[in-house]
């Protein structure tokens, strides 16, 4: 018969259990620290267009490539990249209501949908012709056509591209979205756009939400409102896009293709939050806190992406994905402008 453990041994064993930490905690703390730093940088600079998501992935990549990280952080980084990301995307639904989207009218919604779908399809076709990796092409297409970095990390739950693909795609939408943000205000008058038309053009074609806000409000309050609402309409279309990508991947050739594309059930959470926000009135101060929390969680996910991205592999992707991102930017800007004129805005 095995002798009973002594009191000292029991206390030591109990104490060990008490002091043991969840394996995901070190990595979560690391991604949270990077996300907090990104939000702080955005706050200190006062630049609304400086997305904390973009800053997070840059900081994460810097840490990954300059510091030797212990293996203890791996589990938490993976947790941030998968679980925390999904929570952030679900909460993103609380930033838009059905009434905001419907306020664009039928013509506005059709214009948004046609521009989004045409841009996504065009980038995929050109990416295939250029020989760009399929996963990277899909990520650039999602980021350009929908809502920048948020769309990229959401699409990657289905696409499952490498971390370097995500980083490259985020770099593309950051670069070309920033160029659009700076050049659009200069083009409004030469193109003969009034406040509503300029706002719609900005919201339908510029990559990031923050970039749309910065560019559209240059045309005044009316322009800013139309830009923001049309951009939110694109954000809502993230849900059907991700589901379509998942179904397309699952119906691809071979068992491996079907197995590699999980159904993104969190998308229904996104839709549910939007419907909840449409059904009840959430106080403005609560909404503001939810926005900060959502940005923080998504920034943690982007930090995790950066912490797994190797700059050497990123450079190895070459110039073709960058050229594809440039094509996508020019295509969505031109196609959106044509749609704007055709629909009489």
C-alpha to C-alpha distances, 270 to 146, 147, 238, nearest whole angstrom? 15, 15, 9
pLDDT at 123: 97
Q: Which two tokens stand for residue 55?
A: 């800053």
Please enumerate in sequence order all residues whose Cβ is within 8 A of that of 314, keeping only pairs 6 or more positions apart, or say none: 164, 167, 168
Predicted structure pTM score: 0.74
| pLDDT digit string (tens) for the chain, length 345 residues | 444 444 444 444 444 444 466 889 999 999 999 999 999 998 888 776 667 877 888 898 889 888 888 989 999 998 998 789 889 888 888 888 888 888 888 888 999 999 999 999 999 999 999 999 999 999 999 999 998 888 898 888 888 888 889 888 988 888 898 889 889 999 999 999 999 999 999 999 998 877 887 788 888 888 988 888 898 889 888 888 888 888 877 766 444 444 445 556 777 888 889 899 999 988 989 988 998 898 899 889 888 878 877 777 667 778 899 999 999 999 999 999 999 999 887
Extract the tokens encoding 202: 């900005």
Tokens of 50: 């400086």
What is the C-alpha to C-alpha distance for residues 268 and 112, in angstroms, rounded to an integer? 21
* Closest C-alpha among 189, 177, 238 to residue 213: 177
How far apart CA 47 and CA 210 sit, in angstroms, is 9
Residues 6+ positions from 273 with CB-CB distance below 8 Å: 90, 91, 92, 93, 94
Nearest Cα neighbor of 79 from 21, 18, 32 is 32
What pLDDT does residue 46 have?
A: 72
By residue count, the chain amounts to 345
Q: Cα separations (Å) of 276 from 74, 91, 203, 253, 315?
A: 35, 11, 24, 38, 43
Residue 262 confidence (pLDDT): 55
Cα separation, 86 vs 83, whole angstroms: 5
Measured torsion, CA atoms of residues 228, 232, 234, 240, in degrees rounded to the nearest 10: 180
Confidence (pLDDT) at 222: 85
The DSSP secondary-structure symbol of 51 reads: -
The token duo for 117 is: 């779908």
Question: Tokens standing for 316?
Answer: 């190895």
Of 71, 95, 101, nearest in space to 276 by CA: 95
Chain Cα centroid distance, residue 109: 21
Q: Kindly state the tokens that stand for 261.
A: 């594309």
- Taking alpha carbons only, the member of 19, 37, 18, 35 closest to residue 27 is 35
Answer for the pair 140, 324: CB distance below 8 angstroms, yes or no.
yes
- Say what the pLDDT of residue 15 is: 45
Residue 108, SS3 per DSSP = helix
Compute φ and ψ for 50, nearest 5 degrees: -85, 95
């Amino acid at each position: 018969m095995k002798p009973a453990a002594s009191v000292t041994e029991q206390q030591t064993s109990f104490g060990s259990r008490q002091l043991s930490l969840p394996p995901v905690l070190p990595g979560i703390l690391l991604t949270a620290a990077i996300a907090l730093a990104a939000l702080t940088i955005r706050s200190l600079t006062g630049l609304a267009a400086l997305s904390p998501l973009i800053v997070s992935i840059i900081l994460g990549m810097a840490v990954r490539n300059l510091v030797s990280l212990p293996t203890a952080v791996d589990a938490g980084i993976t947790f941030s990249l998968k679980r925390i990301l999904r929570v952030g995307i679900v909460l993103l639904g609380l930033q838009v209501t059905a009434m905001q989207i419907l306020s664009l009218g039928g013509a506005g919604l059709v214009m948004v949908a046609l521009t989004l779908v045409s841009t996504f399809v065009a980038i995929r076709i050109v990416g295939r012709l250029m020989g760009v990796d399929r996963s990277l092409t899909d990520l650039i297409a999602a980021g350009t056509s929908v809502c920048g970095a948020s769309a990229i990390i959401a699409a990657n739950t289905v696409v499952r591209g490498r971390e370097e693909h995500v980083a490259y795609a985020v770099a593309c939408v950051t670069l070309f979205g920033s160029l659009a943000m700076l050049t659009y205000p200069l083009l409004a008058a030469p193109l003969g756009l009034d406040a509503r038309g300029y706002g719609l053009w900005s919201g339908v074609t510029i990559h990031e939400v923050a970039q749309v806000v910065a560019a559209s409000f240059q045309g005044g309050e009316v322009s800013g409102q139309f830009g923001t609402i049309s951009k939110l309409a694109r954000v809502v279309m993230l849900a059907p896009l991700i589901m379509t990508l998942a179904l397309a991947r699952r119906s691809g050739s071979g068992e491996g293709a079907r197995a590699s594309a999980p159904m993104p059930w969190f998308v229904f959470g996104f839709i549910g939050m939007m419907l909840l926000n449409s059904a009840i009135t959430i106080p403005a101060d609560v909404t503001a806190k939810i926005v900060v929390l959502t940005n923080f969680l998504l920034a943690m996910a982007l930090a995790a992406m950066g912490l797994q991205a190797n700059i050497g592999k990123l450079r190895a992707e070459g110039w073709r994905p960058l050229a594809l991102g440039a094509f996508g930017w020019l295509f969505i800007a031109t196609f959106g402008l044509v749609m704007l004129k055709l629909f009489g805005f």
